[in-house]
Each structure stands twice: as structure tokens, then as C-alpha cells.
Structure 1
Amino acid sequence: MNCLPWQQEQWERLCSYQEKGRLPHAILLEGPRSTGKQTFARAFANYMLCSSPRNNEPCGSCHGCQLLKAGNHPDFVDMEPEEGGKTIKVDEIRAFVTSTALTPQIAACRITLISPAEAMNSAAANSLLKTLEEPNPGNHILLVSHAPWELPATIRSRCQHLMFPLPAKQEAIEWLTAQQPDDEWPGLLDCVRGAPLKALEFQQHGLDSYREEKRRFAALLSGKANLVEVGMAWSKDETGMIANWIYHWTLDLARANESGIMQMHDRELADWLKDLIPQLDSVKLFSVLDKLSSLQQGIRSRNLNVQMQFETLALELMEAGT
């Protein structure tokens, strides 16, 4: 199986559609980050472009498989933001729309992968809409999205939705252990909210960086941290997880403030802040949660001053605890 273990149901569904000649023109693969949607999309593109698939898997040795592996298959279009860029621009989509009039060169169909789909700017999304409304035979589009709600409703409504939830924790641990034995996988999965591919990536940093940021968070609430230094440190995060961690720590504290410390999920944080929790300003905590939702969206689109936003967030957290 070319897909990950927890994707088998989705794989079999698409293969069944293909065998019956009912494969949708456009499929929106949606779910949390680092669950393997991109891996799945590329594997399925390989299956579709393979000239000799066997048992619902690409053969890996035909001309099409070899071209795809080399990155130069003429019937595969891979669209993503340019390195260092933040959006998929309208010119790229227009060029793709024009190319859909072409017939496949060596395969039975043409496959286009757009990832992440929410990276399309509004003009690009509008340009894509035409080919979704009037699909050309032999063309299939796989749109991978971590935040489908950011896509225009007109795009979402014209796609077949395929959900990719997080795998069960034990299944993720078994897969991760098969990649590399490590007793810390359960803790690492907790750090990345159950996303196995992110846990694999995060393993190099270990639990130390997670705990260091949690200590920074606790020090901030206790009034023992420098706002500017905290904002600068958080804005330089390379794991893409800081805003997510802060959100869940803050939610945990809001839960404890409302219902008691025993309701906290993070027992270590509860122990560090047990004397402060009853005094926390719940209104400010919920305000922080609202700001974090906006901040996470802004980080994805990269249209804001991240350091300034984190400094503002740090100030509000400090005020919630003092």
C-alpha cells in the first residue's frame, strides 16, 4: 500500500470510484496538518498515471512511474507556492486552466495537485472556478487543504470531499515506532496534537523545546518574563507549533479557572501555576483564545507582523495573570 496505514479506507474508496469510472473531476482532501494528505495525493496521482497498476497500487516500474519519480511526468501538474512565497497566483492557475484543453500525452488522464489549496489568492480561486464548473474529460484535480473553511464556498461546493482525520494514537505510535524505535513517541504525539508526520519531524527537537516554551508561557503569566523577548522568541518558531501550543495551554487554564484545577489536562502546567490559577482573569484568557485563532490564520497567510502580534498576545497573557 502506497498510502499511510490510517488512510486505507480513503484509498480503497478512490480506487473503487476509479474502477467504476466514477472518479470525481475535483477532490478536496481535507484534514489537520501532518496527517499525510500530501503523501496520499501524490501516491494516488502515481496510481492514476501508472500504465500497469496491480492490486490497486502503481507498479513502480513502468515508464509513467519512472517519469513521475524523476519529477518530469508530462501529465502531472504540481501547483504550490513558490519557495519563500505565500500564495498560488492567478497567472499559474490561468496557465493550468488553458492546459486543461490539452489531451494527456502518455497516460490515460492528466492529474493536477494543488497544495495547499487555501494558498490560492482570490483571483486564482476565481480562475480555477471555470474549470471546476466546466470540467474537461481526462482531467482530475486533487486539492489538498489544511483549512478548507478558507476556500471560497463556490470552490468547496464543486469538489468531492475526502476527510483525513488524525489517526488513533496507538496506530500512530505503532507506525512511528516502525519508522524509528523511541520511547518518547507518546509524549511527542501529545506535543503535536496527534499529528504523526509532525511528531516524526519534531523528534529532532525532542520534548525539551516543548517544555522550554511551556516554562516561558508559565513565567509570562507569573509576570517573570520580558514581553519583547518572549514575542521575539515565539515569532522565530520554526516548528509551526507555538501558536497551537499557546492556544491549548490557555484553553487548559481557562478550563481550570472555571471548573477547578483537576479539570486541567496538562498536570505539569497545573503544578507550576496552581497558586495563580484561581486569580486568573477568565475574560482576558478567552480574549487571548480569540486572538490566537486570528493569529494562526494570519501566520498561514503571512500577511501580518508576527513578532508584533506575539508581543501583543504576550502582554494580554501577562495581564491575565496579574
Structure 2
Amino acid sequence: MEIGDRYHSLDAAIYPWFEDQWHRVVRLHNDKHLPHALLLSGMPGIGKARLAEAIAGYVMCHRPQSLKACGQCRSCILLNSSGHPDLYFLRPEETGKPIKVDQVRQLTEFMHNTAQQGGYRIVVLEPAEFMNISAANALLKTLEEPGRDTLLILITHQLGQVLPTVRSRCQRLDCHPPSETVAVEWLSQQLSVDAQEALQLLNVVHGAPLTGLSFKKQGHQALRADFLTALRDILRQRKTPVEVAGEFLKADLDLLLGWLQGLLADVVRILLLDSDELIRNMDMQKMLKGIAKNSTKVKIFTLADLVQVERLGLQRRQNPNKQLLLERILIDWSALVRS
């Protein structure tokens, strides 16, 4: 492992929707009841990694104040400059790859060394569901015998994918997405947009503010617009599923399937509520109402289940043939409004 993979400077922030979780951890630490392992659980894109970094900064600070690190002690200076030698980040070596057992063994060695700056040694492991079975089992020994003044902070986006024996040895810190009001206000300020634009963006990203921020900055609006237009063209028989699959072969497949999943969820809302007032993709309202009117519940739910299964497969690091997978889904999409 390269030194840059172990020692990070912090970019920590306490988002307003995590104040309860933050106060809980601070109280545990101040009362000397901080557990040796925390498991931060919640949907992606809401800031769990930033919360973990803020916790690490507070716990490692030599002169913590009531609700924040002092920012001036040796530990704080290290954390915010060159990186702290007693803080260890463990992530997959490559995007989409699992966390391997050898990585966990290196972590175990770190956990049992003496802290170079005194105080705590802290590990931030993300995402916990990416540990393969061997790695998770290797971590169990560290969780059972963590050593003195150590804290493991595990972050998971899919709690059900974390080994039960790992979950049971951590104190859970459930991280919920912010309310619509809080999220809209925050995103409006970050992007300097009005509340309506922020709300529409949040609807697209299922209420995850940081995903919305990234979505806007990375220019995903154009890709989404092109993909939704292509879906509409398929229904109108202007393009074939094979043609559209070829057009989007280089795009992030999970991103595309997430948008498609959101559209199908909106169709279900229309069917179940006999209303389009609660749909999220308001810019596709006409198409969604047309599908709800001209398709069947069996077709819609069958396709929704297929998209969910394929997304789970991608997230579990399966490596399918993207062209064939997308073609199969788009063929079923084309059949939604046909007899």
C-alpha cells in the first residue's frame, strides 16, 4: 500500500442533517463510553464519509472543545495538512473491486502499533459491504481484540450486505437523508439556484444532497436528458433497443439503470395512487402517464424487478456484458405499451 493511501488530510464537515448523530458520538466520547467500532449506515450521497472524518478529527484532537476539534493542536494540524500517521483509510485498491484480505491484515498490524502522536489510532473503512468473505473474517479478530485507544469507523451504503458477525461487533450509527426542506435549502445555497431547481434535482437523485451536488457539477443533466429522450424514442418506435444500447455503451450502467428505476417507480405511484402528484420525474410526466395508462401492472413490476436485480449484481461487483444487459432491459421497456 502506498503511503498516500494511508495518510489523508481531512475535508470534514458536519452537515445540518447529521447533528443528532454528531451529538451522540461527542457525548459518548466525553463520557468515555466511545465503542471500539462504529458502523455508519445509510444511502449513498448523504455525507457519511464526511461525518466519519469529523468524528476522527474530534477523537484525535488533543484539546477538543465542547462540540468540535480545536483546530490548533499538533494532531489537528497534521490532520489538515500532510495527514495524520495514526489515521488509516482502507478502501478498495481499484474502483468497483473488493477489499481484500491482505489489506485487512495490513490494517491489523497498524491497529496494534503504538500511536505515534499519542491518543487514538483510527481506521475509516469504506465501503464495508465491499469486503470479501476472507477480508470480513480477518477483520473479526481486530473487532474482537481492537487494542487500547483504537476506533474503527465502518461505512456502509448497504447494511444487509455486511456480514452479520461484523455488524454485531459494531455500534450502529444510522444516517438518514435530510428532510426535503433541509435538503432543498442546502443544495440551493451550494449551487446558487432557486428552490424549485434544487427540488427537481433532489427528486432525480432520490433525495441525496451530495449526489445532487455531484450530478450538477459533473454535467450529468445532459446524459440523463439524452437517455430519457432515447427511452421515449423506443416507445414511439423511432429507435430500436439495440440502437439505444449501442449509443450508451460507454455510459455508467448503474447510473442509467438508476434513472430507469426511478421512472418505473413513478409509474407505480401513478398506478397505485391514481394520481401523478407525487412523481419525482416531473419533466417526464406525459410519458409516465402514458405508460401507466397503456401498460399493465405485471409488465411494469416485472421490469422493475429485473432492473433491481441487475443493479444489485453491478453493485456486488459482477461484471456482465453491458451491451447484452442493456439490450435485454430496453427490449422489455419497448414492450411496456405493446400488446
CA distance in 2 between counterparts of 1:255 and 1:223 reads 25
The alignment partner of 1:70 has SS state of coil
Which region of structure 1 is more displaced relative to structure 2, 151-160 or 256-265? 256-265
Structure 1 position 15, deviation (Å): 0.4
Structure 1 position 207, deviation (Å): 4.4
Aligned to 1:321: 337
Structure 1 position 262, deviation (Å): 4.4
Structure 1 position 318, deviation (Å): 1.3
Task: Note the 1:168-247 alignment, pairs <5 A.
Answer: 168-183=179-194, 184-204=197-217, 205=219, 207-238=221-252, 241-247=255-261
CA distance in 2 between counterparts of 1:223 and 1:4 reads 46
Aligned to 2:43: 32
**1:68 aligned to which of 66, 79, 82:** 79
CA distance in 2 between counterparts of 1:279 and 1:57 reads 56
Structure 1 position 225, deviation (Å): 2.6
Alignment identity in percent? 32
Q: Deviations over 1:145-174 (max 9, x none)?
A: 111111111111111111111101221122
Against the structure 1 CA distance between its residues 261 and 57, is the aligned structure 2 distance closer, same or farther, given a 3 Å change threshold?
Answer: closer
**2:68 aligned to which of 57, 62, 75:** 57
Against the structure 1 CA distance between its residues 79 and 273, is the aligned structure 2 distance closer, same or farther, given a 3 Å change threshold?
Answer: closer
CA contact (8 A) 2:25 2:34 kept: yes
Which region of structure 1 is more displaced relative to structure 2, 118-127 or 214-223? 214-223
Which region of structure 1 is more displaced relative to structure 2, 276-285 or 114-123? 276-285
The answer to whether structure 1 residue 311 and structure 2 residue 322 are counterparts is no
Against the structure 1 CA distance between its residues 67 and 273, is the aligned structure 2 distance closer, same or farther, given a 3 Å change threshold?
Answer: closer
> Which amino acid is 2:210 matched to?
L
CA distance in 2 between counterparts of 1:208 and 1:87 reads 31
Aligned to 1:284: 299
CA distance in 2 between counterparts of 1:232 and 1:63 reads 55
CA distance in 2 between counterparts of 1:315 and 1:152 reads 36
The answer to whether structure 1 residue 302 and structure 2 residue 317 are counterparts is yes
Against the structure 1 CA distance between its residues 90 and 71, is the aligned structure 2 distance closer, same or farther, given a 3 Å change threshold?
Answer: farther
Q: Return the TM-score normalized by structure 1.
A: 0.91
Structure 1 position 197, deviation (Å): 0.7
Aligned to 1:17: 28
CA distance in 2 between counterparts of 1:75 and 1:264 reads 48
CA contact (8 A) 1:75 1:106 kept: yes
Against the structure 1 CA distance between its residues 276 and 51, is the aligned structure 2 distance closer, same or farther, given a 3 Å change threshold?
Answer: closer
The alignment partner of 1:241 has SS state of helix
Pairs aligned (count):
322
CA contact (8 A) 2:269 2:276 kept: no
The answer to whether structure 1 residue 106 and structure 2 residue 117 are counterparts is yes
Aligned to 2:148: 137
Structure 1 spans left out of the alignment, 5+ residues: none
> Which amino acid is 2:315 matched to?
R
The alignment partner of 2:184 has SS state of helix
Q: Return the TM-score normalized by structure 2.
A: 0.87
CA distance in 2 between counterparts of 1:38 and 1:275 reads 41
Structure 1 position 220, deviation (Å): 2.6
